[in-house]
Amino acid sequence: MSMNSGGAGIRETNEEFVREAQRLVPHLYEAKVYPQQVVEAVRDEQAFQGWRTQHAEDIDSWKERSYGKDDSFILDFGDHHVGYLTLGLKSVGSPQDAPLRLKLIFGEMPCEVAESFDTYDGWLSRAWLQEEIVNVDVLPAVLKLPRRYCFRYLKIVVVDTSRKYTVAFTDIHCTTVTSGDVTRIPPLPEGTAEAWTTMDRIGIKTLQDCMQTVFEDGPKRDRRLWIGDLRLQALANYVTFGNNDLVKRCLYMFGGMTLNGGKVGACVFETPQPLVDDTLLYDYSLFFVATLYDYYNATKDRRALEELWPVAWRQIETALERLDERSVVRDDPSWWCFVDWHPDLNKQAPAQAVLIYAIRRGLALARELGLAEQAAVLERKLEEVTTAAKTLLWDEEKGFFVSGADRQVSWASQIWMVLADVLTAEENAALLDRLFAESPDIRIRTPYMYHHLVEALFLCGKKEQAIEQLRLYWGGMVKAGADTFFEVYQPEDELLSPYGSHLINSYCHAWSCTPTYFIRTYIAQG
Amino acid sequence: MSMNSGGAGIRETNEEFVREAQRLVPHLYEAKVYPQQVVEAVRDEQAFQGWRTQHAEDIDSWKERSYGKDDSFILDFGDHHVGYLTLGLKSVGSPQDAPLRLKLIFGEMPCEVAESFDTYDGWLSRAWLQEEIVNVDVLPAVLKLPRRYCFRYLKIVVVDTSRKYTVAFTDIHCTTVTSGDVTRIPPLPEGTAEAWTTMDRIGIKTLQDCMQTVFEDGPKRDRRLWIGDLRLQALANYVTFGNNDLVKRCLYMFGGMTLNGGKVGACVFETPQPLVDDTLLYDYSLFFVATLYDYYNATKDRRALEELWPVAWRQIETALERLDERSVVRDDPSWWCFVDWHPDLNKQAPAQAVLIYAIRRGLALARELGLAEQAAVLERKLEEVTTAAKTLLWDEEKGFFVSGADRQVSWASQIWMVLADVLTAEENAALLDRLFAESPDIRIRTPYMYHHLVEALFLCGKKEQAIEQLRLYWGGMVKAGADTFFEVYQPEDELLSPYGSHLINSYCHAWSCTPTYFIRTYIAQG
């Protein structure tokens, strides 16, 4: 996720928590990967985003050639990778009498190596587009580019050599990095349908490439720890890599660096030193409670629970401050709660639901810790906000939860209210049926929100519908050729971007990795 | 100089000579220099090449500001420099949520920071244009750019930050490098006219910035040791820096790595290891003799003379092989002899003159070494080629030396014949008078050839005319705002370039440094 507002003031740091987080910096597993073929990008209206790659030359053709001014070629590394590029270079012909100037373009998707970055006009920094200009004074040379890239395709453009020499590539490889240990992933039960093994593999690869020294949201762009992504990555992690210390590290990062009276920020930076971003989001702060709850259930790490509980408690406390006198979350025209990338989505009802969702988990943790007093407070508050939701945010006539002054009916509101268990099981199931039947216009825009839809369907026992959604949505990405699941995917608008350009979208994005969680939790239970 | 042909085959190496050359790698003196002001480049038809810079902001304005997407500014370092750039960078605003992308353009001249390199269409490598694209993932950062640059002006373009932060510059400086020790330069006599002290200073700065681990031809472009440049740099060096070991190093480089049977190449590379280029030029090979002669006269380094004499002798031997049966240098339509950057200049007569010039110096060295037999050979050959020049290349009717089948009359032929002392002193003086009076169309195109004109005038006792040429030509560069003297300067065509674009011209060029030699040798003799 990338955000453009927020606005926070005072940062508070719990040095011990930050030290604990830093103690947990994970080992990065490295592997060398090599280009698999030389391809060309071809316009194809049938292909995802209008581009496909096709085999152009034998694997090693680039090793046998030399290249001069304006020559270029595209290497396909065969899968999505995150890592460091090494180029072995030598001159051919007369001695190198001028520097070599190369342009290197790294693409997760064919569009990135097919279209020009120079036309980019989105509102996120152009610096995220992975393009380097490199000048090399002395050949032969081994270039180890210091920055990390995220790509399947590498386009190499020889901007110039000279009339007296050309350049040959003696080596091109990528040293991949991840904190996910693939040897720890339990195999799926034998006989699992190929559609699920494929989707599981892609989900795991998505998670793996986002697993670095934190759970990054996207290894191409942002490359930071967002709590909304963390929550879903952690769920996928528990059933795959099981790198629970990485979840712990992230919880201590968020818990150790807060804003404006103990609020958990939406995002933290690792460099140059740990720092909480100035972005505060209502739902994201509350997800600290949910993520801690999930972590404890997965690990029974009592000490972490005891240490981090006050942070979780504080999120509920400050979230409750936003309630009006009717116990309804106060709406806000500004950007204060995420829920989904939808410009028209009203956040009030989903925010109320996330609050309920968090209180339920907080209550369970308080009971686990034997904190009777806090548990009693949470029970009472749970009753209040749930009642308010059922009375003030429920439109009996429409049969839907409504949000904001304009009483907006959105998919997100219904889904979150189901997840918050506001209604009975039967009512929840009926609400979801009605949602599909009436299909209100304020739809789902991201894999992140799709995750919650699928989770809601599974939780209501609607396994077939949940599977259908997985097949339609993530299956659509598989058909589109995804090596990893995308940040943004809208089948009817393949160029959709919340940032003004599909070139800057992240095509390996944390919040899209959860098919492996669904498959391993609800589907392929050997 | 940059060349595009040549064509050599077999390289021979004298390992001992190369080791001696490497033993003499000089110490580089470093100094920190800082920007002097923020300027803007302004179109001005009265200014050299149509551009002048004007003061835009106070010295330290850039220190107090921060810059966002598409902001740019031009720093003026106040003088020409060669060295390494350091940038101190920090983010301002929210935490840095996207990489910083900078474009850095280094210019010796205003045109380089005023015009776009993207339109460059010359035939030398675009990679010589000093432009870097830098992406910085983590701020604050101290960037020490690894490449050496050559500039007075630095244009910094902030390609992008993000909407949440801007970039501020906490430090910008250049660490200059040179093997010239300025403290060794003798002061000019008191009372020397300001015009001469200015020209002397600029010539010395030109030499200084070209003095690195070899005498480079130009620190911006090529950055190599060419023997044509070396010969003139050495002359300027003897009367200023006196870094005679650097001349010695260069002589051992050329002498230690030869081509096709002992011919001295036109140019050698230092990296990745010492290597002679595959370019052979008739006059340049012979300049080994002249440069050794000058070096011995300056140093009386008998051991170097003894060791390098066989190389010098071999240049004359192989040059004589090019004589036809009439003892005239055989012409060649290809690019085999430099003399000057002039597309229509015939090289036969100047080549004959350079041969005579070299034989005279070889003869003096042979005598010095007591090599009677070789001296006798040289005396006989000198007589033969001089006679051939005076009879076969002299056009009595025109009163000029002529060159090639079309009997071309050029400035270069006359000047070189004067320097070769083919005629008597009176005839030489008359020839130069006639040259100015009749002014043949094949003119001088470079400071390199102007040097030889001025030298010829001084040697013929035409001091006033020599001074006039210095004032007109190098004085013209001074008026044009030169901090160092240019590779190419033609007052009537300020955009002239042998390479198809004035942007790629070198504006600090070895072969232009000799005013300091003339001033200290012929003018300001206290």
What pLDDT is attached to residue A4? 37
- pLDDT tens digits along B353-376: 999 999 999 999 999 999 999 999
Give the integer Cα–Cα distance in Å for A146 and A389. Answer: 52
- Per-residue pLDDT band for A60 (boundaries 50, 70, 90) equals confident
| Nearest Cβ partner for A98 among B100, B124, B161 | B124
A contact residues 74-103, partner B, Cβ 8 Å cutoff: 94-101
**How far away is chain A from the Cα of B273, in angstroms, using its nearest Cα?**
10
In B145-232, at which residue ranges do the beta strands (DSSP E only) sit? 149-160, 165-178, 225-226
Give the integer Cα–Cα distance in Å for B57 and B39. Answer: 7
Q: Which residues of B touch A69 (CB under 8 A)?
A: 125-126
What element of type H or E holds B77? strand B72-93
| Nearest Cβ partner for B159 among A123, A126, A269 | A126
Q: How far is CA A315 from CA A312, A418, B223, in A?
A: 5, 22, 63
CB spacing of A140 vs B272 below 8 angstroms:
yes
Answer whether B4 touches A (CB < 8 Å). yes
Q: What is the DSSP letter of A524?
A: -
The answer to whether residues B452 and B416 belong to one domain is yes
Q: Tokens at residue A526, please?
A: 């050997």
**How far away is chain A from the Cα of B296, in angstroms, using its nearest Cα?**
31
Q: Tokens at residue A312, please?
A: 């979780």
Q: How many domains does chain A have?
A: 2
- Considering chain A, what is the average pLDDT of its residues? 96
For residue B473, the number of C-alpha atoms closer than 13 Å in the C-beta half-sphere is: 28
Q: Do the domain assignments include residue A208?
A: yes
Q: Of B158, B178, B198, which one is at a domain's C-terminal end?
A: B178
For residue A405, the number of C-alpha atoms closer than 13 Å in the C-beta half-sphere is: 4
Of all residues in chain A, the percent with pLDDT exceeding 90 is: 95
CATH of the domain at B364: 1.50.10.10
| Nearest Cβ partner for B4 among A163, A269, A271 | A163
A contact residues 296-315, partner B, Cβ 8 Å cutoff: none
Answer whether B138 touches A (CB < 8 Å). yes
Query: Side chain identity at A454, as an amino acid letter?
Result: V
Give the integer Cα–Cα distance in Å for A5 and A438. Answer: 34
CB atoms within 10 A of CB B433: 13
Cα of first residue to Cα of last residue in chain B, in angstroms, is: 35
- Per-residue pLDDT band for A478 (boundaries 50, 70, 90) equals very high
CB spacing of A95 vs B275 below 8 angstroms:
yes
Structural domain range at position A89: 29-178
CB spacing of B95 vs A135 below 8 angstroms:
no
CB spacing of A133 vs B133 below 8 angstroms:
yes
The answer to whether residues A16 and A35 belong to one domain is no
**How far away is chain B from the Cα of A443, in angstroms, using its nearest Cα?**
28
3-class secondary structure, A221: coil
Does the pLDDT value for residue B405 go beyond 90?
Answer: yes
Q: Which residues of A touch B133 (CB under 8 A)?
A: 131-133
What pLDDT is attached to residue A78? 97
Q: Tokens at residue B72, please?
A: 């740019």
Give the integer Cα–Cα distance in Å for B153 and B140. Answer: 24
| Nearest Cβ partner for A127 among B135, B222, B277 | B135
Q: Which residues of B touch A224 (CB under 8 A)?
A: 97
Say which residues have a Cβ less than 8 Å from residue A217's Cβ, sequence separation at least 6: A1, A210, A223, A224, A225, A226, A229, A506, A509, A510, A511
Closest CA to B459 of B345, B339, B357, B390: B357
Q: Do the domain assignments include residue A383?
A: yes
Query: Side chain identity at A311, as an amino acid letter?
Result: V
The answer to whether residues B114 and B260 belong to one domain is no
Answer whether A144 touches B (CB < 8 Å). no
The answer to whether residues A117 and A244 belong to one domain is no
3-class secondary structure, A505: coil
Does the pLDDT value for residue A3 go beyond 60?
Answer: no
The answer to whether residues B184 and B113 belong to one domain is no
Q: Tokens at residue A447, please?
A: 């894999």
Q: Do the domain assignments include residue B4?
A: no
Q: Tokens at residue A198, please?
A: 């494929």
User: Would you call A32 exposed, middle or buried from its count of C-beta atoms within 10 A (0-12, 13-18, 19+)?
Assistant: exposed
- Per-residue pLDDT band for A332 (boundaries 50, 70, 90) equals confident
Closest CA to A106 of A503, A436, A450: A503
Please state the three-class secondary structure of A17-73 as a single string. HHHHHHHCCCCCEEEEECCCEEEEEEECCCCHHHEEEEEEECCCHHHHCCECCCCEE
What element of type H or E holds A231? helix A227-238
Q: Which residues of B touch A162 (CB under 8 A)?
A: 124-125, 127
Q: Tokens at residue A294, please?
A: 């999930």
| Nearest Cβ partner for B127 among A6, A98, A131 | A98
- Per-residue pLDDT band for A2 (boundaries 50, 70, 90) equals very low
Q: Which residues of B touch A131 (CB under 8 A)?
A: 133
Give the integer Cα–Cα distance in Å for A296 and A290. Answer: 10
User: Would you call A180 exposed, middle or buried from its count of C-beta atoms within 10 A (0-12, 13-18, 19+)?
Assistant: buried
3-class secondary structure, B170: strand
The answer to whether residues B206 and B156 belong to one domain is no
Q: Do the domain assignments include residue B367?
A: yes
Residue B272, preceding bond cis, omega within 30 degrees?
A: yes
Q: What is the mean pLDDT of residues B280-298?
A: 98
Answer whether B333 touches A (CB < 8 Å). no
Does the pLDDT value for residue B473 go beyond 50?
Answer: yes
ipTM (interface pTM): 0.95
pTM over 0.90: yes
Contact criterion met (CB below 8 Å) for B346 and B410: yes
Answer whether A392 touches B (CB < 8 Å). no
Closest CA to B138 of A270, A11, A468, A301: A270
CB spacing of A140 vs B97 below 8 angstroms:
no
- Per-residue pLDDT band for A59 (boundaries 50, 70, 90) equals low
CATH of the domain at B169: 2.60.120.260
- pLDDT tens digits along A248-268: 999 999 999 999 999 999 999
- pLDDT tens digits along A123-168: 999 999 999 999 999 999 999 999 999 999 999 999 999 999 999 9
Q: Which residues of A touch B99 (CB under 8 A)?
A: 125, 127-128
CB atoms within 10 A of CB A176: 21
Q: Which residues of A touch B132 (CB under 8 A)?
A: 133, 135
Residue B333, preceding bond cis, omega within 30 degrees?
A: no
- Angle B201-B204-B210 (CA atoms, 0-180°, nearest 5)? 145
- pLDDT tens digits along A183-211: 999 999 999 999 999 999 999 999 999 99
Answer whether A273 touches B (CB < 8 Å). no
CB spacing of A4 vs B161 below 8 angstroms:
no
Say which residues have a Cβ less than 8 Å from residue B357's Cβ, sequence separation at least 6: B286, B290, B416, B419, B420, B421
Tokens 């090449």 sit on residue: B49
Query: Side chain identity at A82, as an amino acid letter?
Result: V
- pLDDT tens digits along B303-334: 999 999 999 999 999 999 999 999 999 998 88
What pLDDT is attached to residue B317? 98
Give the integer Cα–Cα distance in Å for B247 and B24. Answer: 10
Answer whether B71 touches A (CB < 8 Å). no
- Angle B352-B355-B361 (CA atoms, 0-180°, nearest 5)? 145
- Per-residue pLDDT band for A526 (boundaries 50, 70, 90) equals low
What pLDDT is attached to residue B80? 98
Q: Do the domain assignments include residue A257?
A: yes
A contact residues 184-243, partner B, Cβ 8 Å cutoff: 222, 224
CB spacing of A163 vs B123 below 8 angstroms:
yes
What pLDDT is attached to residue A57? 80
The DSSP line for B82-151 is: EEEEEEEEEEEES---S-EEEEEEEESSHHHHHS-GGG---SS-GGGS-EEEEEESSSSEEEE-SS-EEE
Does the pLDDT value for residue A516 go beyond 50?
Answer: yes
The answer to whether residues B201 and B68 belong to one domain is no
Closest-approach residue (CA) in chain B for A224: B97
Interaxial angle between packed helices A425-438 and A411-419, expressed in degrees from 0 to 180 and rounded to the nearest 10 = 160
**How far away is chain B from the Cα of A37, in angstroms, using its nearest Cα?**
28
Answer whether B331 touches A (CB < 8 Å). no
Q: Tokens at residue B11, please?
A: 């390289």
Closest-approach residue (CA) in chain B for A91: B272
Does the pLDDT value for residue B517 go beyond 60?
Answer: yes
CB spacing of A164 vs B4 below 8 angstroms:
yes
Q: Which residues of B touch A160 (CB under 8 A)?
A: 125-127
For residue B149, the number of C-alpha atoms closer than 13 Å in the C-beta half-sphere is: 25
Q: Do the domain assignments include residue B2?
A: no
- Mutation target to probe the A interface, by most A beta carbons within 10 A, among B135, B217, B220, B226 is B135
Q: Of B157, B178, B199, which one is at a domain's C-terminal end?
A: B178
| Nearest Cβ partner for A278 among B95, B159, B162 | B95
The answer to whether residues A482 and A377 belong to one domain is yes
Closest-approach residue (CA) in chain B for A130: B135
The DSSP line for A432-454 is: HHHHHHH--SB---SHHHHHHHH
| Nearest Cβ partner for B128 among A98, A128, A224 | A98
Answer whether B139 touches A (CB < 8 Å). yes
- Per-residue pLDDT band for B5 (boundaries 50, 70, 90) equals very low
The answer to whether residues A83 and A146 belong to one domain is yes
Q: How far is CA A341 from CA A226, A268, A282, A393, A420, in A?
A: 15, 20, 15, 22, 21
Answer whether B144 touches A (CB < 8 Å). no
Q: Which residues of A touch B277 (CB under 8 A)?
A: 94-95, 97
Give the integer Cα–Cα distance in Å for B392 and A351. Answer: 101
Say which residues have a Cβ less than 8 Å from residue A165's Cβ, sequence separation at least 6: A91, A92, A93, A94, A95, A96, A97, A98
Q: How far is CA B152 from CA B37, B64, B182, B332, in A?
A: 11, 22, 19, 41
- Per-residue pLDDT band for B526 (boundaries 50, 70, 90) equals low
What pLDDT is attached to residue A378? 98
Query: Side chain identity at B178, as an amino acid letter?
Result: T
**How far away is chain B from the Cα of A499, in angstroms, using its nearest Cα?**
12
Point out which residues pair with B87 in neighbouring strands.
Answer: B143, B172
The answer to whether residues B341 and B265 belong to one domain is yes
The answer to whether residues A168 and A211 belong to one domain is no
Answer whether B142 touches A (CB < 8 Å). no
The answer to whether residues B324 and B354 belong to one domain is yes
Q: Which residues of A touch B161 (CB under 8 A)?
A: 125, 127
Answer whether B495 touches A (CB < 8 Å). no
Q: Of A178, A208, A226, which one is at a domain's C-terminal end?
A: A178
3-class secondary structure, A131: strand
Q: Do the domain assignments include residue B519?
A: yes
Q: Do the domain assignments include residue A215?
A: yes
Give the integer Cα–Cα distance in Å for A289 and A277. Answer: 19
Does the pLDDT value for residue A111 go beyond 80?
Answer: yes
Closest CA to A402 of A341, A449, A353: A353
3-class secondary structure, A409: coil
CB spacing of B159 vs A127 below 8 angstroms:
yes
Q: What is the mean pLDDT of residues A381-401?
A: 98
CB spacing of B133 vs A132 below 8 angstroms:
yes
Q: Contacts from B456-464 at CB under 8 Å and sequence distance 24+?
A: B456/B415, B456/B418, B456/B419, B456/B428, B456/B432, B457/B432, B458/B518, B458/B521, B458/B522, B459/B418, B459/B419, B459/B428, B460/B418, B460/B425, B460/B428, B460/B429, B460/B432, B461/B425, B461/B429, B462/B429, B462/B432, B463/B522, B463/B523
